[in-house]
Amino acid sequence: MKIAPDSLPNDVDLLKQLLLETLAAKEAEIAALKQSVQRLLEQFRQAQQQRFGVRCERHDYQGELFNEAEVTLEAPVVLTTEYDVVEGLKRRAKRKPLPKDLPREVIVHDIREADKQCDCCGHQLALMGQDSSEKLKFIPAQITVIEHVRLKYSCKHCETQGTKANIKQAPVPASPIPKSFATPSLLSQLITSKYQYALPLYRQETLFKQHGIELNRKTMADWMIKSAALFKPLYDLLHQQLLTQAVIHADETTLKVINDERVKSYMWVYCSGGDGPNAAPRYQGLRNIVLYDYQDGSRAGTCVSRFLATEQTVFNGYLQVDGYAAYQQASNKLVGCWAHARRKFKEALIAQGKPKVGKISKADMALSMIAKLYRIETQIQALSLEERLYFRRTHSRAQLGLFKQWLDKSVLQVSKESPLGKAIHYSLNQWSALSRYTEDSRLNIDNNRAERAVKPFVIGRKNWLFNHNHRGAEASAILYSIIETAKANGLIPFDYIEHCLTQLSYPDCDLHSLLPWQVNLGKA
């Protein structure tokens, strides 16, 4: 804005004051523009990272950043199954032997009879030994038709006497889906192909065509829904078992439902125990359960509260989740996730760009302090529950205290709108939940248990993309639950589903005998 010279005051003091005010306004404007530019640069770097960058959240631990006295625990030596690593040196890879129970076809390779004479003296060569090597042969799946023949018997005497004919016949064999040619093995193949291996039904349709069988996707979709209905009582029993656990992990992910006016629907996942059979002390007494829940695609807090409180059981244990507000109305013992807190500082580090040589950014400092918390967890994971609790209450809480002091100081120095400011405020707002894992040795430092459990659904979603309606989404939730719970208990999903469908075909089925930790599949 131009100022006319005649409008300026003649007084020198007034001119100085006007000049200072103008300079202050310009400096404020420049500072605001710099903040806007910095914010745009940070958003640009984050967008570049999301599209082109590496997804790994690993952070190199910088032990020289802080000089506080620490008690260093001796980390246990871990040997992998495929590569033995000793003192940082990688040995030659060792291939695992093929299972001994696989059928074997032995082919003997011998030399010609004429070559069994010694080239030197002409005498007969004697067998001194043999070398053997194993090759794995794949035989494509075979499809067999099982024809049920029910013999009928009648009384010839009654027929000759003209009385009512007495006809007897064997009852119709129990079938998961009556009046269809679907057997438990066929349904198990369809279910595991779609929900375990993410093979959409239209692709399975083409596979059956290769065998000369016309099995369209509409029929298979109908079978999926009917199979899920069969599994619903077992799902409800697993639900009741889950609510009795001391610790539950929860997470949610998006889902597209065609016949829903919402742009995004949501699938919730709840799990307890470990990803697989685990003898570690912290998993003792916990059942390995993974349940998906679709409640009309909503993301409201009532979805969580409805799932965690049924007419028979109300959950009153620890609920480990991320910072989503919907979980707060479901439990008063929320446990936070340090992986989410670390992720936000990692995003802030990426947004800041490369720091100056020799300068350590605040985001880097935060990541280093969080890395120390994780290092403690790595060192105590094999300890007993009492020892884990002791080390958490001493070492972990001491490190948490240092981090909390750093957060309280840094929050006054960083803009709230910047990625770093958002990361700091997230940690402070979630602090009571983030530090609660030190109260109980069965708790984890993060919610990665639930994030790993939801990953199979996310992978499948990339292949089949959407559900047509709410009914299909509910069926998907049940079938995913059965498969992932079977995997968590060390069962082969195909065998478990086939066995369950066989037993669930009978009206007097004992559901408790089908629980993954009690089932007897009858396989050697």
Q: Are 335 and 436 in contact (CB under 8 A)?
A: yes
Mapping DSSP to helix (H, G, I), strand (E, B) and coil, where does residue 197 land? coil
CA distance 145 to 159: 36
Is the pLDDT at 88 greater than 90? The verdict is: no
Between the CA atoms of 107, 110, 112 and 113, what dihedral angle is there, to the nearest 10 degrees? -110
β-partners of residue 349 are none
* Range 431-450 average pLDDT: 93
Read off the pLDDT band of 80 (50, 70, 90). Answer: very low
pLDDT on residue 234: 96
Q: Are 374 and 73 in contact (CB under 8 A)?
A: no
- Per the listing, tokens 């089932």 go with 519
Residues 363-419 pLDDT 10s: 899 999 999 999 999 999 889 999 999 999 999 999 999 999 999 999 998 888 888
User: Greater confidence, 453 or 36?
Assistant: 453
Read off the pLDDT band of 282 (50, 70, 90). Answer: confident
Residues 179-206 pLDDT 10s: 888 999 999 999 999 999 988 898 999 9
Tokens of 78: 């871990």
CA distance 19 to 13: 10
CA distance 436 to 318: 10
Residues 204-230 pLDDT 10s: 999 999 888 899 999 999 999 999 999
Instruction: Identify the sign of the CA torsion 504, 506, 512, 513.
Output: negative
CA distance 16 to 8: 11
Helix axes 12-52, 338-352, angle to 10 degrees: 120
CA distance 433 to 325: 12
CA distance 205 to 193: 12
Percentage of residues in the chain with pLDDT exceeding 90? 40
User: Greater confidence, 87 or 523?
Assistant: 523
CA distance 284 to 287: 8
Q: Are 361 and 42 in contact (CB under 8 A)?
A: no
Is the pLDDT at 511 greater than 50? The verdict is: yes
pLDDT on residue 78: 44
Q: Among candidates 278, 272, 341, which has minimal Cα distance to 308?
A: 272
CA distance 431 to 397: 12
pLDDT on residue 49: 64
Summary count for the chain: helices (H), strands (E): 15, 9
